A and B are shown apart, each in its own frame.
Chain A
Amino acid sequence: QSLLTQPPSVSGAPGQRVTLSCTGNRSNIGAVYGANWYQHLPGAAPKLLIYNNNNRPSGVPARFSASKSGTSASLVIAGLQAEDEADYYCQSFDTSVSAPVFGGGTKLTVL
């Protein structure tokens, strides 16, 4: 099974810290390429937040951080802001199917 599993939704109040999880297996997150994370606002282009488990591209605020442990990955958003309300997707490369694979996404609601 090459799917990545994410909780459908998570919420937090402004200023709080939330953690989004992504569970894979040894063929994807647990393999060499690790996990990437994207933010997707409705009608907009998806935005790369994290690549290779814990690296932020230039321009991504430091309050977005991530880590990997075994076959799971986590995205942490600190100091929640209203503009963070979006869908968040994890993605990896699955060596068993030789293809990129995506999680089902987590909808973040800022209360």
Chain B
Amino acid sequence: QKEVEQDPGPLSVPEGAIVSLNCTYSNSAFQYFMWYRQYSRKGPELLMYTYSSGNKEDGRFTAQVDKSSKYISLFIRDSQPSDSATYLCAMSAGGDDKIIFGKGTRLHILP
């Protein structure tokens, strides 16, 4: 079993819909959970990060972590065509531990 599993998509949704992106993981030591957004021909940019379990909201984006299920989610409300990108989950145990990335989910928001 890979440390981090992420459905590569592509995921196509109409503009204005709520998008749900998910990752599962196997390492119970992970404490820091991140979502990166990567546009074509660009490097990943950090979208959100959370520590341990719970929810975090930033504008149209909500990150959820369920450590008991080893499952993290990113919700995008009122999705826009500009949200079309690849979304990568990432996680780490913290300290000097390296960050492990998912493969990324390609998201298309249809106008």
The answer to whether A binds B is no
B residues with CB within 8 A of A: none
